[in-house]
Amino acid sequence: MKRIKGMAQREAKPLLKEDLFSTLEMTGHRMKDRRDRALLLLGFAGGFRRSELVGLNVEDVAFDRKGVIVTIRRTKTDQEGKGRKLGIPFGRARWCPVKALEEWLEAAEIPSGPIFRPVSRHSQVGMSRLTGEALSIVVKEWVAKIGQTAELFSGDSWRAGFGHTSDAMLSRYIQAGGNVRRECGEPRPC
């Protein structure tokens, strides 16, 4: 019906780097904070669609000396199911997506299966996969804490904020052989 009537799709407000860093300043050491920090940083650094991010398993990530290689098994635009690899380098600032992901997996003691899982108010990590809708709620919760209008944001806001408009733009992070490439050289400690 949308195609026939030509209705415009509502676009999420971009989550800009400054807003992301403001939300991260508010995170603490609770289990949910660790998960959300990893989720927000990895989502932003990789420009993931929410379905791609919540679909990640531990088996889909490989840490190396330059960062992490993420294998995305299936994407919205990958109708043949070939998948793709995305390199996320170590961050150059205080907030490093690679370090946040390592800390979350270690603290949550997740050896395999879904990376991003529900966390109870008593810091119990569930076994199931976080949903795309839950991811949107996480984003909205954090932006509301910094005074933004939560309803304007979604689980895809970092994609708009980082400027990823196509998979071709994301591919500049990939180097042959599965190594992470950085435009500024060697990774710096986070």
Check: CB of residue 129 under 8 Å from CB of residue 119.
no
More confident residue, 9 or 14: 14
pLDDT digits (tens, 9 = 90+) for 10-23: 566 777 788 878 88
Query: Which of 3-17, 139-153, 163-177 is predicted most confidently?
Result: 139-153
Looking at residue 134, what is its pLDDT?
92
Q: Which DSSP letter does residue 90 get?
A: P
Looking at residue 102, what is its pLDDT?
97
Sequence-distant contacts of 132-137: CB under 8 A, at least 24 apart: 132/50, 132/51, 132/54, 134/54, 135/39, 135/43, 135/50, 135/53, 135/54, 136/50
Check: CB of residue 40 under 8 Å from CB of residue 24.
yes
In whole numbers, what is the pLDDT of the chain averaged over residues?
Answer: 78
Strands of the chain, DSSP E: 61-64, 67-72, 84-89
Looking at residue 111, what is its pLDDT?
96
Q: Is the pLDDT at 5 greater than 60, yes or no?
A: no
What is the residue type of 166?
S
Beta bridge partners of 68: 63, 88
pLDDT digits (tens, 9 = 90+) for 93-148: 889 999 999 999 999 999 999 999 999 999 999 999 999 889 888 888 877 887 87
How much is the pTM?
A: 0.75
Q: Give the Å distances, CA to CA, from 170 to 18, 56, 74, 78, 86.
A: 21, 17, 15, 14, 7
Looking at residue 35, what is its pLDDT?
97
Diameter of the chain by CA atoms?
Answer: 52
Its sign, for the CA torsion 120, 135, 161, 67, is positive
Looking at residue 54, what is its pLDDT?
94
Q: Give the Å distances, CA to CA, from 135 to 48, 49, 116, 142, 166.
A: 12, 11, 9, 11, 21
pLDDT class of 169 with cuts at 50, 70, 90: very low
Looking at residue 73, what is its pLDDT?
85
